[in-house]
A and B are shown apart, each in its own frame.
Chain A
Amino acid sequence: MRSGYFTALAVAVLLGSGMLVFAKPPAGSGSITGKVTYTGTPPKMKPIDMSKEPSCAKQHATPVMTQNVTTGPGNALQWVVVYISAGDEGSSAPSQGARYDQKGCEYLPHVLPMQVAQQLQIYNDDQTSHNIHPLSKTNPEWNKSQPPGSPPIDTKYDKAEFIPVKCNIHPWMHGYFAVLNTSHYAVSGEDGSFDIKGLPPGKYTVTAWQEQYPAQSQEVTISGSEAKTANFVFKVLPY
């Protein structure tokens, strides 16, 4: 009786985990981690004056700064998209959508990575109207108004592109959509680190993209479930 129960349980667990494995696209267990840093003197980020939009200004105890070159301790460089630009077999877009927020008259996150054909939901969490305007060149260009309380905008992009995003109402609002052909990507954090997981064995080109400076690439070969390291250094200028 008891052993029968355990057998059933074991079968259920096995089946369940098996389904998990098969539901996912062919995923490996190799990884590429690293750190994005800079050399040189970065430009000073500027405080943003939101006083004309009090409902946004009051959400920030200290002024929001421009984010085009966001640095951290140890010469870390944030908001760099690191992705597999060649060698990836490609996979269909995840069912989970990417979420972009307009909050406190800022775009959150500043750089949003997503996959081609992945659903993108854009929310207005503010008590003021926004008019989001992604300046796409390869994909069709559009802009849409969202008064407070509007439902999210539901959209997607069909071609890979780095798209600057601006608000037609609040000139200081700026962000980026990174529409990628791969599902293997990461954005460098405050400490400049990134972590690309789930890579099957193979020979890859890893590219690091930053909004202001030229992108750079490295070749990385993964065999088995190797954990490789790749660091990127951007040369920055004070102006």
Chain B
Amino acid sequence: MGKFFAIVLTVITLVSASIFAMHIWWMPVDISVHGPALDKQFGETLMGTGFGFLVAQLSLAYFLWKFADKGDGRKVREFPGGPKVTIITAVVLVGLEILALSFVGQKAWASVNLDPAPPNAMHIDVQAEQFAFYFRYAGPDGQFGAVHPEKISDGNGNYFGLDPENDIPARDDIVVGSLTIPVNQPILLTIHSKDVGHSFYVRELRIQQDFVPGIVIPVHFTATQTGKFEIVCTQLCGLGHYNMKAYLEVLPQDQFDQWLKAQAGQ
């Protein structure tokens, strides 16, 4: 029986490792400036943990094979020092590994989450609600109108709670249901939620950030490829969560300018 388990374990280990090694079900294309650093970090982490996984599973299989119960009535022998020492060693080893990974990975993480957006970043305001995303551009005056939550009215299309009657900068704000951006231009999103927790996830941008009710969270990135990508909510937010998505459209600068002009004219 021990030998049978050794074989099954070896097969499972090799098959699951080769799924990663052969890039089956691999990540989608990366279209962001910060993405390669994250992907590199991901690759290194995967190599490290993958190596550990292979060594651990294959030595387990080896020991299973070698010391399989031969039915000769031998007694089970314990590690010197008992299980305590083994557990402490494992905890220290895993702790060291996580510490090392955090230390090595923090640079890639900080470039996305801690560093401020470059000063020339284009600012787009994002509101999430059950179950849609809305995006706001400052309009021709380059200024956002103030937000008044009590003025939010979905029936009037006033998803952000603008007050165009009294607030002149709000009058030309452009509010749309899809995120359209120019390629190779730093983008700063300020994301906030009308109701519950949501998240902003674009696989190709390598960005996943929660919306937290009551907090405005900055997110910045630069897209390096044109195309249409999916924005999905990855934070279970209620009945229609499965249906909460929007599209990101990355356009060449001139097409983006045209698009923005057409929106402003509406």
Contact = CB atoms under 8 A, between A and B. Distances in A.
Interface in A35-72: 43-53, 66, 68
A172 interface: yes
Contacts of B178: 49, 51
A145 B240 CA distance: 10
Contacts of B266: 44, 46-47
A44 B246 CA distance: 24
Contacts of B156: 43, 46, 66, 68, 212
B131 interface: yes
Q: Secondary structure at chain B's binding surface: helix, strand, loop or mixed?
A: loop
Contact of A52 (B157, B159, B171, B245): B245
A52 B246 contact: yes
Contact of B130 (A43, A52, A171, A237): A171
Given A66-B155, A68-B156, A129-B243, A169 B131 contact: yes
B177 A52 contact: yes
A174 B175 CA distance: 18
A47 B176 CA distance: 9
Interface string A11-53: 0000000000000000000000000000000011111111111
A170 interface: yes
A129 B242 CA distance: 11
Interface in B143-172: 154-157, 159, 164-165, 171
B256 interface: no
Interface in A183-233: 211-212
A168 interface: yes
A168 B245 contact: no
Contacts of B243: 52-53, 128-129, 169
A152 interface: no
Contacts, number: 68
A94 interface: no
A225 B70 CA distance: 109
A203 B245 CA distance: 55
A164 interface: yes
A212 to B, nearest CB: 8
Contacts of A48: 157, 177
B132 A52 contact: yes
Interface in B229-258: 239-240, 243-247
Give the size range of A's interface with the partner.
Answer: 20 to 34
A169 B176 CA distance: 17
Contact of B155 (A47, A169, A174): A174
Q: Secondary structure at chain A's binding surface: helix, strand, loop or mixed?
A: loop
B171 A239 contact: yes
B204 interface: no
B132 to A, nearest CB: 5
B210 interface: no
B232 to A, nearest CB: 10
Interface in B197-232: none
Most B Cβ at <10 Å: residue of A48, A49, A170: A49
B102 to A, nearest CB: 36
Most B Cβ at <10 Å: residue of A68, A166, A169: A169
A131 B240 contact: yes
Given A131-B239, A169-B243, A49 B177 contact: yes
B129 interface: yes
Contacts of A239: 164-165, 171
A47 B175 CA distance: 10
A234 to B, nearest CB: 16
A70 B165 CA distance: 19
A150 to B, nearest CB: 14
Nearest to A131: B239
B159 A171 contact: yes
Nearest to B245: A52
A172 B157 contact: yes
B240 to A, nearest CB: 4
Contact of B247 (A44, A51, A174): A51
Given A166-B154, A239-B165, A171 B247 contact: no
Contact of B239 (A166, A168, A172): A168
A53 B157 CA distance: 17
Interface of A: 43-53, 66, 68, 128-129, 131, 145, 164, 166, 168-172, 174, 211-212, 237, 239
What 9 A-B pairs have minimum CB-CB distances, sorted nearest first? Answer: A49-B177, A174-B155, A46-B157, A169-B240, A239-B165, A239-B164, A66-B157, A171-B154, A68-B156
10 contacts: A43-B156, A46-B266, A48-B157, A49-B176, A52-B247, A68-B155, A169-B240, A171-B131, A174-B154, A239-B165
